[in-house]
Amino acid sequence: MTNHIVLYEPLIPANTGNIARTCAGTDTVLDLIEPLGFETDDKHLKRAGLDYWDQVKINYHKNLDAFLETVPDRKHLYLITKFAKQAYSDQDVTDTSVDHYFMFGKETTGLPETFMRENEDQCLRIPMSDHIRALNLSNCAALVIFEALRQQDFPGLEKSHLYDHDKLK
């Protein structure tokens, strides 16, 4: 089983860098659907991911159709959008025998409307007030992936760790 964070045409390098760091820390695959709004050697992208880039498995896809060809079962593809009726935390993703894909839209326009309408049952929402247009993309990715990992009992991750200079010893 593998969890995937999928970014559809991301525009802001710092968001993608922060998400890459989250992927490195959670053994999550990062799928990037082109075109990207930046070059992958962008200094802001590298700075946000710090020195974790070699720990991230990144798949690049030329477009949405090319990405969809790589998804074995679309019932495990979840579209994260403020237009959904179901909360992301209500979706059962405990099955660790399958890959789960959590797709986020570009920062300015989200996911394509026709694609969301065709997959309405797979749309999930992060609850929020109506005082803002949207939450930050990298925060949303972290919320969703950690909920999935919580439901899966954090497979392969350390729930506790003792450090040489542990401040709580």
Q: Which residues are annotated as a binding site for S-adenosyl-L-methionine?
A: 80, 105, 126
d(CA 96, CA 92): 11
Q: Are 31 and 7 in contact (CB under 8 A)?
A: yes
d(CA 12, CA 37): 7
Binding residue numbers? 80, 105, 126
Structure tokens at 104: 């986020």
d(CA 62, CA 52): 24
d(CA 38, CA 64): 18
d(CA 15, CA 94): 27
Q: Are 14 and 44 in contact (CB under 8 A)?
A: yes
The SS3 assignment for 3 reads strand
| CB neighbours of residue 68 within 10 Å | 15
